[in-house]
Every structure is written in structure tokens, then in C-alpha cells.
Amino acid sequence: MLVKTRGIVFTFIRYGDSSIIVKVFTEELGLQSYVVNGVRSPKAQSKMALFQPLTLLDLVVYHHPGKDLHRLSEHRCAYSFVSIPFDIKKTAIALFLAEFLTRGLREEGRAAELFSFLDQSIRILDTQTEHYSNFHLSFLLRLAKFLGFDPVNSGEIYLQILKHTPDKVVAEQEQQAINFFLDQPFGTSCNMSNEMRRDLLQIILDFYALHLDHIGTLRSLAVLREVLS
């Protein structure tokens, strides 16, 4: 059946000589995989720009319940980036978040609230002109709400981590930073050293690992740390 939906590109893999299989989080169908034919051919390579991480699309898709792989009938850009593809820090953040979401989300079916959050978050990242090096931290703390384990404050995160890693120490400064991101409007940032940013991200990832056992090792994490250092 044909379904009209908005979508967010997470990642893609090469398929055949000139096609790709793209992982897309859709508003109406949740996380889905689609074959896109011919976009890697010499004459169509410009179309690959539509399938870069976190690109927002308007789609018409052929959906067959029970199948793992579907096809696109129509696709077009729903929002033109102004900075993400041209800013190395934002590109690294986008790659990291796209990989994390690919590993972390398992939802199928309509997910309007989660989609709205992701859509809004991507637009905020794209339009921020300064102080966005901590964007991924704020994003991950807010994403947890939509996955069913919304932390109230840093103390809750710390206690959950301690149950599984008794010798783990979360410094008071890091706890204050977590509370700041939870309390302030999304997109608000604060001054933070590179070392603290790395430590804080690891704490958040440790927290996620308690709830999502399928995240695994994120290949984009090392790149993110290097670019933001």
C-alpha cells in the first residue's frame, strides 16, 4: 500500500552497483528500511545529498506489513540545511546522533511525538550559530523521555549507574551540568571543558546502556570526540 509520511534519514548502505538501502525514521511507520534505486549512478549522484544523516524528507512509500525492506515511490527535501553539512562540528554531531538513533530506536508504527521532537531538534541544531558543542548532551537527556526512562535529575541517573557500577564516581560539577541541561530550554548551552564534555557524554551513554542493551559500540563516537576536542 502507498503511505504518505514525513521521514528523517539516519544512515544508508550501498546496495548493488548504483542503489542504496536507507534507514529512515518515519512519522507514520516508525523506523523503516527502503531501497532507493540508481542514486549512486554518475548521472544521479547529486541525489545522494537527500540521504545524508538527519536529512528531513517528504515521502510516499510502498509499505508491505510484515516485510523488512520497502521501496520509495516519491521523495523530496522537506527542509534545506543552512549549516549542518558545512560545519565540521555539526556534521560530527549529526553523524553521531544518526548512528545512536539507528541503534537505539526500535519503534514501528506511528510515532508522532517522537518524530516531532527529532524534527524540532534537527532544526535547532542547524540554526544555532554558537554554543552548540554540547547539543548532543542536551538531546540525549531529552530523548530518554520518549524511550520510557525519563530522568528527573542527575541524582536519579547517578543512583541507577551505581546499582550496576558501584565504584563509579560522578563529580558534583558533572551532576550540576546534567541538571542544567534538564532544567533549561532545549538548545541552551553552557561553557564546558572538552574533558568534562567527554566525561558527561560517557555518563549519559552508561545510563542508556542500563536501559538499551542493543546500542553497542558507536563508530562515530571517536570522531565526535576528536572534532569537539
Q: Is the pLDDT at 167 greater than 80, yes or no?
A: no
> Domain holding 115: CATH number?
1.20.1440
- pLDDT, residue 93, reads 98
Grid look-up 520518549 returns 146
26 or 109: whose pLDDT is higher?
Answer: 26
Domain shared by 26 and 92, yes or no = no
> Cell digits for 106?
526500535
User: What is the pTM assigned to this prediction?
Assistant: 0.92
Domain shared by 21 and 88, yes or no = no
Domain shared by 28 and 57, yes or no = yes
- pLDDT, residue 90, reads 98
SS3 label, residue 152 = coil
How many angstroms separate the Cα of 69 from the Cα of each of 17, 85, 219?
Answer: 18, 28, 24
Give dist(CA 17, CA 30) in Å, integer.
28
- pLDDT, residue 46, reads 64
State the residue range of the domain holding 49.
Answer: 2-77
Write the pLDDT tens digit of every residue in 4-41.
999 999 999 989 888 899 999 999 999 999 999 877 77
Q: Examine the fold and report which residue of 62, 77, 92 is the final residue of a domain before the chain moves on.
A: 77
Domain shared by 121 and 201, yes or no = yes
Write the pLDDT tens digit of every residue in 56-70.
999 999 998 888 899
**Segment 89-118 mean pLDDT:** 92
Handedness of CA 28, 78, 73, 44 (dihedral sign): negative
